[in-house]
């Protein structure tokens, strides 16, 4: 689904985003991307949606080479990738329903298709009753659910979440995680960048750890920290 | 199908950003209002200049006692000047013609009925190619035996020169004003658009992340620009119409009631309104379309 081959992204002489990163994420996987701030997680995600281009190396998403992809094709790439962000990135001044509908309008979906699909996805994320609300009238967790609904309404094969629980309390975070897990079970590849140690430890999924733009660990059914590093601040018996 | 989505988006967006939509509309309104007041003024001034220029002719008065041969000779001289390229055209005005012309110019003709005989001389009315050559033409015709001793060859050198100076100044002032107006309008509109786009930077960013194509994002803004431009232009035209009916028309009626009737050409209000409304729409569309480009490179 996602292949990075010797990818480098250099912002400036002293600023390296990603350094010689090679990895392969299979279709249907659930992957945690971990690492301290500035380790290159955001760069990784921005490269995936071709917001920026790599300095060196090749990136392939869903069999499409991003290096040779023309600018005009980028919108179509993004429609095949759902994105969830820490700050939700909802369209202000639009109701929950309209925010989700926008992702469908963009693809040229018919009004009838929109009327059918939006309520469907809103009920999936548990917001059936709040379609008419404005984003500002919702709690953080609810806004993030709208964001997930919008990301998933086109049934993309890849869903990227950048610190989706970063602004949420633990209980609300679990709800969002369950949602992402369910989406993954439908066959969608999920890549989630996070700092949430507890969540990663609980889920026991593949963990890709970055540090200073370099891959330091890529482990299946893993925890946030390496076993021999010892748990920091959380009990090992979870 | 798409068009409906775009128009709905445009209306939604202008409602959501009322303050900015109003600012853009008012900006177009002011620019169009200035333009609308300026175009007729410019045309009127130009037409007055042309009108006055046509009046800068030379009158060659003929004495009543001149023989037919003498008048013929004088005419030949003028024909000569015509073939040299100094004279554009000339015409013979008989004593009766001169009286008829005067009668036409006066509103109250009764004053002429008091005259015992026709005191007006016959004349050749000579129109120069360039009023600046008047002195040369006069020099060639003066002293001819057919020319009236007292009235002679008449042209007002001082008036002509002064008039030509004024024309030059007026032209430059007009040009300067036009440029100033254009610059002001462009800056004003550009600024407003930048303001409105800046307010939507985040929105555009999110749209791009969801996979909207550039044109899918741009069309609603362009339509919104057209709507604001149209609204501003229409209000400006209404204001101009009110100004025309309330102030300009009564004033020009007042000046027309003088001794003479002047036929200054002017643009019809309908075509002016059409031009202005069209200009408003185009400015709105192009303005928002172009300014958006910078923000679409995400």
| Residue A151 pLDDT > 90 | yes
- Per-residue confidence (pLDDT) for residue B166, from 0 to 100: 81
The mean pLDDT of chain B is 79
- Per-residue confidence (pLDDT) for residue A228, from 0 to 100: 59
Same domain for B149 and B256: no
Same domain for B169 and B46: yes
- Contact list in A for residue B211 (CB cut-off 8 A) is 75-79, 103, 106-107
| Residue B260 pLDDT > 80 | no
What whole-number percentage of chain B has pLDDT above 90? 4
The mean pLDDT of chain A is 90
Cβ contact, residue pair A75, B1, below 8 Å: no
- Per-residue confidence (pLDDT) for residue A232, from 0 to 100: 47
Average pLDDT over residues B103-126: 80
Count contacts between A and B (CB, < 8 Å).
Answer: 46
DSSP code, position B108:
-
Closest CA of chain B from A75, distance in Å: 4
Higher pLDDT, A139 or B41: A139
Average pLDDT over residues A179-198: 93
What is the sign, positive or negative, of the torsion defined by CA atoms of B30, B32, B33, B35? positive
Query: What does the alpha-carbon distance between residue A224 and residue B122 come to, in Å, rounded to a whole number?
Result: 114
Residue B15's Cβ-count burial label (10 Å; 0-12, 13-18, 19+) is exposed
Q: Which domain range does residue B102 map to?
A: 57-154
Average pLDDT over residues A117-121: 95
Average pLDDT over residues A156-177: 92
Same domain for B11 and B74: no
What is the sign, positive or negative, of the torsion defined by CA atoms of B69, B71, B72, B74? positive
What 3-state class would DSSP assign to B116? coil
Query: What does the alpha-carbon distance between residue B90 and residue B77 come to, in Å, rounded to a whole number?
Result: 12
Same domain for B35 and B167: yes
- Per-residue confidence (pLDDT) for residue B22, from 0 to 100: 86
Closest CA of chain A from B27, distance in Å: 25
Give the least confident one: A59-73, A146-160, B172-186: B172-186
What 3-state class would DSSP assign to B71? helix
Task: Tell me the pLDDT tens digit for each residue of B185-223.
Answer: 777 777 776 777 777 788 888 999 999 998 888 888 888
Query: What does the alpha-carbon distance between residue B83 and residue B75 come to, in Å, rounded to a whole number?
Result: 12
Write the residue in A79, A91, A93 that is nearest to B211 by C-beta. Answer: A79
Write the residue in A51, A110, A150 that is nearest to B210 by C-beta. Answer: A150
CB atoms within 10 A of CB B212: 22
Residues of B with CB under 8 A from a CB of A: 1-2, 5, 12, 16, 202-203, 205-214, 216, 298
Give the least confident one: A47-51, A156-160, B260-264: B260-264
Task: Tell me the pLDDT tens digit for each residue of A188-197.
Answer: 999 999 988 8
The sheet that has A2-12: what strands, in order across it? Answer: A15-25, A2-12, A56-61, A64-65
| Residue B257 pLDDT > 70 | no
- Per-residue confidence (pLDDT) for residue A196, from 0 to 100: 87
Tokens of B49: 């200049």
Query: What does the alpha-carbon distance between residue A63 and residue A108 come to, in Å, rounded to a whole number?
Result: 24
| Residue A139 pLDDT > 70 | yes
Task: Estimate to the nearest angstrom the gap between the alpha carbon of B187 and the chain centroid.
Answer: 24
A153: left (phi over 0), alpha (psi -120 to 50) or beta: alpha
Cβ contact, residue pair A75, B212, below 8 Å: yes
| Residue A235 pLDDT > 50 | no
Closest CA of chain A from B286, distance in Å: 22
Cβ contact, residue pair B213, A75, below 8 Å: yes
Average pLDDT over residues B64-90: 85
If pLDDT is split at 50, 70 and 90, which confidence band does A67 have? very high
Q: Which residue of B has its CA nearest to A45?
A: B209
- Per-residue confidence (pLDDT) for residue B256, from 0 to 100: 52
| Residue B263 pLDDT > 60 | no
Highest mean pLDDT among A124-138, B224-238, B243-257 belongs to: A124-138
Enter the ipTM: 0.85
Q: Specify whether the CB–CB gap between B237 and B270 falls below 8 A.
A: no
Structural domains of chain B, count: 2
If pLDDT is split at 50, 70 and 90, which confidence band does B262 have? very low
Same domain for B280 and B178: yes
- Per-residue confidence (pLDDT) for residue B135, from 0 to 100: 77
Residue (of A140, A122, B196) closest to B204 by Cα position? B196
Write the residue in A93, A103, A107 that is nearest to B16 by C-beta. Answer: A93
Q: Work out the widest C-alpha separation in chain B, in whole angstroms.
A: 98
Q: Could you tell me if A134 lies within 8 Å of chain B, comparing CB atoms?
A: no
Cβ contact, residue pair B5, A49, below 8 Å: no
CATH number at residue B123: 3.30.70.3040
- Per-residue confidence (pLDDT) for residue B266, from 0 to 100: 59
Higher pLDDT, A44 or B140: A44
Write the residue in B209, B212, B214 that is nearest to A89 by C-beta. Answer: B209
- Per-residue confidence (pLDDT) for residue B150, from 0 to 100: 76
Q: Which residue of B has its CA nearest to A75?
A: B211
| Residue B259 pLDDT > 50 | no
Q: Could you tell me if A89 lies within 8 Å of chain B, comparing CB atoms?
A: yes
Task: Tell me the pLDDT tens digit for each residue of A28-38.
Answer: 999 999 998 88
Same domain for B183 and B288: yes
Q: Decide the pairing of beta strands B58-62 and A189-193.
A: unpaired
- Per-residue confidence (pLDDT) for residue B254, from 0 to 100: 61
Same domain for B176 and B110: no
The sheet that has B122-128: what strands, in order across it? Answer: B87-93, B122-128, B58-62, B153-154
- Per-residue confidence (pLDDT) for residue A206, from 0 to 100: 94
Cβ contact, residue pair B211, A102, below 8 Å: no
Average pLDDT over residues A18-47: 93
Write the residue in A78, A91, A93 that is nearest to B211 by C-beta. Answer: A78
Tokens of A226: 């390496």
Same domain for B182 and B89: no
Q: How many helices (H) and strands (E) does chain B have?
A: 11, 4
Cβ contact, residue pair B212, A106, below 8 Å: yes
What whole-number percentage of chain B has pLDDT above 70? 89
Cβ contact, residue pair A90, B1, below 8 Å: no
Higher pLDDT, A196 or B158: A196
Cβ contact, residue pair B209, A106, below 8 Å: no
Higher pLDDT, B290 or A228: B290
Same domain for B287 and B260: yes
Average pLDDT over residues A172-194: 94
Same domain for B284 and B169: yes
In chain A, where are the structural domains located?
91-155
- Per-residue confidence (pLDDT) for residue A207, from 0 to 100: 94
Same domain for B67 and B208: no
Give the least confident one: A33-47, A123-137, B105-119: B105-119
A233: left (phi over 0), alpha (psi -120 to 50) or beta: left
| Residue B274 pLDDT > 70 | yes
Cβ contact, residue pair B211, A77, below 8 Å: yes
Cβ contact, residue pair A89, B298, below 8 Å: no
- Per-residue confidence (pLDDT) for residue A198, from 0 to 100: 87
Q: Could you tell me if A218 lies within 8 Å of chain B, comparing CB atoms?
A: no
- Contact list in B for residue A53 (CB cut-off 8 A) is none
Tokens of B152: 């002679």
Same domain for B22 and B169: yes
């Amino acid at each position: 689904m996602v292949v990075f081959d010797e990818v480098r992204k250099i912002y400036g002489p002293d600023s390296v985003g990603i350094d010689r990163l090679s990895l392969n994420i299979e279709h249907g996987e659930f992957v945690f991307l971990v690492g301290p701030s500035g380790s290159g997680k955001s760069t990784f995600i921005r490269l995936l949606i071709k917001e920026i281009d790599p300095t060196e190396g090749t990136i392939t998403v869903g069999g499409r080479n991003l290096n040779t992809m023309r600018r005009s094709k980028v919108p179509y790439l993004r429609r095949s990738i759902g994105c969830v962000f820490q700050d939700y990135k909802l369209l202000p001044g639009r109701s929950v329903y309209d925010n989700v509908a926008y992702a469908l309008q963009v693809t040229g979906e018919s009004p009838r298709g929109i009327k059918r699909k939006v309520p469907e996805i809103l009920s999936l994320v548990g917001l059936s009753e709040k379609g008419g609300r404005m984003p500002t009238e919702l709690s953080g967790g609810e806004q993030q659910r709208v964001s997930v609904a919008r990301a998933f309404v086109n049934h993309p094969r890849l869903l990227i979440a950048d610190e989706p629980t970063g602004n949420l309390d633990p209980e609300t975070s679990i709800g969002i995680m369950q949602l992402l897990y369910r989406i993954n079970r439908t066959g969608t590849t999920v890549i989630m960048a996070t700092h949430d140690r507890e969540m990663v430890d609980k889920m026991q999924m593949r963990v890709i750890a970055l540090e200073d733009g370099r891959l330091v660990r890529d482990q299946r059914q893993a925890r946030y920290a390496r076993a021999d590093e010892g748990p920091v601040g959380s009990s090992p018996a979870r | 199908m798409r068009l409906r989505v775009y128009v709905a988006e445009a209306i939604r967006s202008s409602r959501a950003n009322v303050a900015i939509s109003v600012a853009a509309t008012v900006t177009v309104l002011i620019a169009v209002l200035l333009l609308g007041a300026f175009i007729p003024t410019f045309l009127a001034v130009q037409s007055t200049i042309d009108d006055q220029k046509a009046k800068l002719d030379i009158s060659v008065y003929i004495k009543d006692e001149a023989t037919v041969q003498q008048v013929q000779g004088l005419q030949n001289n003028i024909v000569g000047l015509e073939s040299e390229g100094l004279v554009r055209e000339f015409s013979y005005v008989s004593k009766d013609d001169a009286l008829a012309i005067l009668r036409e110019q006066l509103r109250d003709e009764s004053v002429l009925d008091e005259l015992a005989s026709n005191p007006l001389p016959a004349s050749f009315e000579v129109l120069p190619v360039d009023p600046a050559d008047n002195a040369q033409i006069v020099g060639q015709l003066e002293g001819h035996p057919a020319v009236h001793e007292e009235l002679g060859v008449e042209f007002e050198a001082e008036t002509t020169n002064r008039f030509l100076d004024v024309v030059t100044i007026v032209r430059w002032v007009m040009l300067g004003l036009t440029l100033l107006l254009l610059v002001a309008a462009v800056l004003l509109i550009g600024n407003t658009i930048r303001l409105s786009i800046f307010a939507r930077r985040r929105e555009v960013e999110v749209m791009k992340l969801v996979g909207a194509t550039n044109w899918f994002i741009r069309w609603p803004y362009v339509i919104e620009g057209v709507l604001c431009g149209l609204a501003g232009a229409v209000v400006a035209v209404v204001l101009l119409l009110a100004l025309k009916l309330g102030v300009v028309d009564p004033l020009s009626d007042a000046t027309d009631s003088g001794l003479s009737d002047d036929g200054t050409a002017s643009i019809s209000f309908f075509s002016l309104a059409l031009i202005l409304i069209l200009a408003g729409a185009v400015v709105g569309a192009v303005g928002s379309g172009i300014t958006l480009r910078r923000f679409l490179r995400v």
